[in-house]
Chain A
Amino acid sequence: MRIGFMLGEVLRSVFRKPATGKYPFAKSTVPDRLRGAIHYNPEKCTGCTLCMKDCPSNAIEIIAVDKPNKRFIMRLHTDRCTYCAQCVESCRFNCLEMSNKEWELAALQREPFTVMYGRPEDLDQFLAKTETKIPATET
């Protein structure tokens, strides 16, 4: 029978570094396989839309700018994305990857959460056609 069993450990901890890191001033190292923001490479995309079909939260839209010439763009709703990486697994042509650097993705408005990916000329063509006001286009 003991009382205050953990006291020794607690007193020793007074002289040790705290276990909590001071985020955002000190960020811990992120593992290589962290599943962060999705990036799309339109060069190899064939428009099979398996990523769209398999996304559990319908976050991906593959829009055909010019289907016979295989020119596609992707509209990604990052607020719906659950970062499960099923799209990366479903794509047979390795067009999708998840960044391990972009994981601080909070925003104060709705707009930054809809991201469009594609070649610049395809994006321009699509946006001119639809006159959609979606900022933050990226390749």
Chain B
Amino acid sequence: MTAPSTEKFIVPIGPQHPALKEPAHFEFTVDSEMVTASSARFGYVHRGIEKGAENRNWIQALYLVERICGICSNAHSTAYALGVEKLAGVQAPPRALAIRQIFIELERIHSHMLWAGVAAHEAGFDTLFMYSWRDRETVMDLLEAISGNRVNYSMNVLGGVKYDITPALSDAVLRGIDLLGKRLEYYLDVATTEETFVQRTRGVAPMTAAQAESLGTTGPTARASDVQRDVRVDSPYLLYDQFPVTLVTETAGDLQARFTVRIKELFESLRVIRALLEHLPPGELTARMPRRVREGEVVSRVEAPRGELFYFIKSAGGENPYRVRVRTPSLCNFSSVLVGVIGHRVADIPMILAGIDPCFSCNDRSVIFRRAGEDDASAKGGSLPSAL
């Protein structure tokens, strides 16, 4: 991403490394403790999912794309289902859309709490890690009670959802949300006032709005730098036009802002879930879906917990998808890490990396880093050949 320096000590991190939960390779050129250049290489979790979707029928591919990521599995599944339904001209019933929205927001809660714990763990603050994960069990139990599984809920079918939310489950969700609201306020307090933690997050890797836009960041990482962008607000899907979310932004752009944006977003999620449960539309759960989807292309965008998730689905009129292209938000945010780490110490690297909420499983696409004025032949290869 930057000009190679003449200092020659390069710290390689990964693909097997205790700090990284998933495999990726980074190389940081350092001058004593300060990082002067960085580069990255991905593709270690490449599983051929986009090709696999071409060999499966539309229903089988739904479960395949759900397993691209464990944390944001419902976002992938919803984006695919919305795309295929749009292609086939089928509108899922309002109750199904409401239940899907409840699940997306519940998933956001579980994902951000997981991230808060992991980021604290990278800073060595294991107490916050353990306690936030203990409270995350509340939302995992709710998800298991409604869908039958803690991750990979398999809640969506093409045309609707599988499981209904009964009044008893709705009460359980509301009770769980009240508890989570109190705990999240406590964790926001801890993350912003515990001095030992604040020293590691305030002023670290600040990014201005202009930089965030030029580097292409998305999601809470961009919103922490005052970029006003959220797919739920800009192009509402599901029932976000009737039950909207307020945009949550911060201006500082540093690690602490990324913490506060994520936790404040969760308060919005809790409010939306409460509103949806009080006004759950009656009706059926699925709409009839043809087994062959007519020819066409569609773009489907969803706000995953990490940012904008983008699906391009093309049908050639058959039983199998012709092409499914997935662009996950984590891929966009890595450039902010590679730039943000310059000028910071080696000890700040794990926190800066954790600050964008990286999901390496989502990320296995071909990446080429090219300097201005360079052609393809001399570009520093990011990773795989372009067979995706």
Q: Are B194 and A2 in touch, CB under 8 angstroms?
A: yes
User: In the assembled complex, how far is the CB of residue A15 from the closest CB belonging to chain B, in whole angstroms?
Assistant: 16
Q: Are B195 and A89 in touch, CB under 8 angstroms?
A: no
Q: Are A54 and B57 in touch, CB under 8 angstroms?
A: yes
Nearest-CB residue, chain B, relative to A30: B144
Q: Are B149 and A86 in touch, CB under 8 angstroms?
A: no
User: In the assembled complex, how far is the CB of residue A103 from the closest CB belonging to chain B, in whole angstroms?
Assistant: 10
21 sample A-B contacts, Cβ–Cβ < 8 Å, listed by A number: A1-B195, A2-B194, A3-B195, A5-B189, A6-B127, A6-B131, A6-B194, A31-B145, A31-B148, A34-B148, A35-B148, A53-B57, A54-B57, A54-B59, A56-B56, A82-B152, A83-B154, A84-B154, A85-B162, A86-B59, A98-B148
User: In the assembled complex, how far is the CB of residue A92 from the closest CB belonging to chain B, in whole angstroms?
Assistant: 12
Question: Does B60 sit within 8 A of A, measured CB to CB?
Answer: yes
Interface string of A4-33 (1 = CB under 8 A from B): 111001100000000100000000000111
Q: Are B63 and A9 in touch, CB under 8 angstroms?
A: no
User: In the assembled complex, how far is the CB of residue B324 from the closest CB belonging to chain A, in whole angstroms?
Assistant: 14
**Bound-state Cα–Cα, A4 to B125, Å:** 11
User: In the assembled complex, how far is the CB of residue A91 from the closest CB belonging to chain B, in whole angstroms?
Assistant: 13
Nearest-CB residue, chain A, relative to B193: A2
Q: A3-B195, A31-B144, A56-B56 are in contact. Are A83 and B64 (CB under 8 A)?
A: no
Question: Does A45 sit within 8 A of B, measured CB to CB?
Answer: no
Task: Give every chain B residue within 8 A of A2 (Cβ-Cβ).
Answer: 193-195
Question: Does A55 sit within 8 A of B, measured CB to CB?
Answer: yes
**Bound-state Cα–Cα, A98 to B149, Å:** 12
Task: Give every chain A residue within 8 A of B149 (Cβ-Cβ).
Answer: 34-35, 83
Question: Does B21 sit within 8 A of A, measured CB to CB?
Answer: no
Q: A2-B195, A6-B194, A33-B163 are in contact. Are A85 and B189 (CB under 8 A)?
A: no
Main secondary structure of the interface of B (DSSP, over half): helix
Q: Please tell me the size bucket of the interface on A.
A: 20 to 34
Report the 6 A-B pairs with minimum CB-CB distance, sorted nearest first: A56-B63, A35-B148, A84-B154, A56-B60, A5-B194, A33-B148
Q: Are B154 and A1 in touch, CB under 8 angstroms?
A: no
Question: Does B147 sit within 8 A of A, measured CB to CB?
Answer: yes
Question: Does B24 sit within 8 A of A, measured CB to CB?
Answer: no
Task: Give every chain A residue within 8 A of B131 (Cβ-Cβ).
Answer: 6, 9
**Bound-state Cα–Cα, A34 to B149, Å:** 6
Q: Which of A3, A85, A90, A100 contacts B194 (CB 8 A)?
A: A3
**Bound-state Cα–Cα, A10 to B56, Å:** 50
Interface string of A45-88 (1 = CB under 8 A from B): 00000000111100000000000000000000000001111100
Question: Does B20 sit within 8 A of A, measured CB to CB?
Answer: no
Q: Which of B64, B128, B154, B195 contacts A85 (CB 8 A)?
A: B154
Question: Does B134 sit within 8 A of A, measured CB to CB?
Answer: yes
